[in-house]
Amino acid sequence: MTSLSPLRVRLALLALALGGFGIGAAEFAAMGVLPEIARDLLPDLAASDPEEAIARAGILISAYAAGVVVGAPTIAVVAARFPRKGLLLTLAVAFTVGTLASALAPTFELVVVARFLAALPHGAYFGIAALVAASLMGPGKRGQGIALVLSGLTIANVVGVPAITFLGQNAGWRAAYLVVAAIFALTAIAIVLVVPKQPGDPEATIRREIGGFARPAVWLALLTGALGFGGLFAVYTYVAPLTTEVTRLSPAVVPIALIAMGVGMTLGNLFGGRLADRGALRAVFICFGLLVAALFGLALAATALPGLFAGLFAVGFAAAAISPAIQTRLMDVAGDSQTLAAAANHSALNIGNSIGALLGGAVIAAGWGYVAPTWVGLALCLPGILLAVLGGLVTASPARRSANQNEPVGLS
């Protein structure tokens, strides 16, 4: 790849981050407009049992998560040999079409299908964008490049999701999805204009990509990241009742609490990227230590407003820092299966999100209170740390280290 000016590199990274912003808005905005979706698509049920209608509408969130889990490894395996710029453009267009279909589908069942299809490019986009960003940043700055791409996702939690939720509540949920589709369309244009051409791997085959899963260190890294994000979503999913029932604040404070957590995620993501460039496995241990401390502090201090806000900020900061560290670790241990490993990370994270939300809901349903999900997050951290230790042991021998660490990202 020919040398690029610093301005061109920054613009390319910004284009990739814009796609991450759109993905974050698409993934999380549905949580804020579920009542509107339920009233529009399930009117009879919403009239007779509003809570059941909202719970039924929650299938849309599960359908999106399922699409991420299915699409990430599938697309990555098939597409590893294709030029990466063209692939990113194709995925951005697919996001645009899928989100438009979500906004225009006339029935609940068709919207569910549209959300599943719209999610298929999610993991592949982030995985390929991470590889491109790592190449643009050059040796020694891979983690920072990955973090810059992921920053679009974290910034969406601070700005995009509240704004799109407000739009959906006032102009209808379909208008909210039309705006998200417009963001993806802008991403496609930006990719065409500023992302440089980067070749795929002409020697990539489905067998070789899948072969990455034969490496224990890959599985251990994926599981470690899933448990870390499980701890985050055990808390994130139930921020509203934590704020209103434990801290005894007005529901109007909930968006501010979410913004505090989103700001922590944004800063933590950038911190994790820089830390990963000094050693990915070391960064994983540091970030898990921070997450344990943050969850413990939140559990003890959530009854007071300062403790709630500081705790949510700290949990978001520590958990988001894990993501670029895990992504960089995967690039170290995946060998030739770079595309699959980078994309599969987002499948693992979404599985972790689901596990955290499920276990958090289970302890609440058991009557243990709204602080209990924070303790669930702590419980998930413990096996996460053990898996990270095992991952380090697997790659500790000189032979393993030379085979698994400091692999090129497959871009030139």
Could you tell me the CATH number of the domain that includes residue 351? Answer: 1.20.1250.20
Greatest extent of the chain over all pairs of C-alpha atoms, in Å: 66
142 and 3, same structural domain? Answer: yes
Distances, alpha carbon 358 to alpha carbons 59, 75, 272, 354, 363, in Å: 14, 27, 27, 6, 9
Q: Is the pLDDT of residue 412 over 50?
A: no
The pTM for the full model equals 0.79
257 and 118, same structural domain? Answer: no
Average pLDDT in the 256-266 region? 89
Question: Which pLDDT score, from 0 to 100, does residue 31 have?
Answer: 65
325 and 187, same structural domain? Answer: no
272 and 291, same structural domain? Answer: yes
Question: CA 229, 232, 237 angle in degrees (round to 5)?
Answer: 120
Query: Which residues constitute the domain of residue 278?
Result: 205-412
For 178-213, the pLDDT digits (tens) are 999 999 999 999 999 999 988 876 766 677 777 778
Average pLDDT in the 307-329 region? 94
177 and 74, same structural domain? Answer: yes
Q: Position of tokens 């170290």?
A: 332
* 58 or 5, greater pLDDT: 5
How many structural domains comprise the chain? 2
120 and 32, same structural domain? Answer: yes
Domain-terminating residue out of 173, 200, 227: 200
Question: Which pLDDT score, from 0 to 100, does residue 191 have?
Answer: 95
401 and 350, same structural domain? Answer: yes
Question: Which pLDDT score, from 0 to 100, does residue 408 have?
Answer: 40
Q: Mean pLDDT check: name the lowest of 47-51, 102-106, 124-128.
A: 47-51
325 and 266, same structural domain? Answer: yes
Average pLDDT in the 271-284 region? 93
Residues 194 and 105: beta-carbon distance below 8 Å: no
What ranges make up the beta strands (E) of 258-324?
A: none
**Rounded to the nearest 10 degrees, what angle do helices 34-41 and 50-57 cross at?**
100
268 and 124, same structural domain? Answer: no
393 and 246, same structural domain? Answer: yes
* 63 or 178, greater pLDDT: 178
Distances, alpha carbon 87 to alpha carbons 48, 124, 126, 147, 197, in Å: 46, 9, 12, 20, 10
Q: Is the pLDDT of residue 330 over 80?
A: yes
For 112-164, the pLDDT digits (tens) are 999 999 999 988 898 888 888 888 888 788 888 888 888 888 888 788 877 88
Confidence band of 402 (pLDDT split at 50, 70, 90): very low
Domain-terminating residue out of 146, 174, 200: 200
* 114 or 399, greater pLDDT: 114
* 111 or 27, greater pLDDT: 111
Question: Which pLDDT score, from 0 to 100, does residue 300 have?
Answer: 96
Q: Mean pLDDT check: name the lowest of 99-103, 119-123, 199-203, 371-375.
A: 199-203
Domain-terminating residue out of 200, 230, 246: 200
Q: Is the pLDDT of residue 400 over 60?
A: no
Mean of the per-residue pLDDT values of the chain: 86
Q: What residues contact residue 337 under an 8 Å CB cut-off, 6+ apart? A: 208, 209, 210, 211, 212, 213, 215, 218
Question: Which pLDDT score, from 0 to 100, does residue 410 have?
Answer: 37
Question: Which pLDDT score, from 0 to 100, does residue 406 have?
Answer: 44
Q: Is the pLDDT of residue 298 over 90?
A: yes
Q: Is the pLDDT of residue 1 over 70?
A: no
Residues 298 and 312: beta-carbon distance below 8 Å: yes
Structure token digits, residue 218: 């890959």
Question: Which pLDDT score, from 0 to 100, does residue 32 have?
Answer: 66
Q: Position of tokens 């960064």?
A: 283
- Report which secondary-structure segment, H or E, holds 14: helix 6-32
209 and 192, same structural domain? Answer: no
Structure token digits, residue 202: 């002409």
Question: Which pLDDT score, from 0 to 100, does residue 142 have?
Answer: 81
Q: Three-state DSSP class for 132?
A: helix
249 and 118, same structural domain? Answer: no
Q: What residues contact residue 91 under an 8 Å CB cut-off, 6+ apart? A: 75, 121, 124, 125, 128
Residue type at position 100: L
Average pLDDT in the 227-244 region? 87
Residues 179 and 167: beta-carbon distance below 8 Å: yes
Q: Is the pLDDT of residue 96 over 60?
A: yes
Q: Mean pLDDT check: name the lowest of 234-238, 278-282, 285-289.
A: 234-238
Q: Mean pLDDT check: name the lowest of 166-170, 209-213, 384-388.
A: 209-213
* 375 or 68, greater pLDDT: 375
Residues 341 and 69: beta-carbon distance below 8 Å: no
Q: Mean pLDDT check: name the lowest of 91-105, 308-322, 329-343, 356-370.
A: 329-343
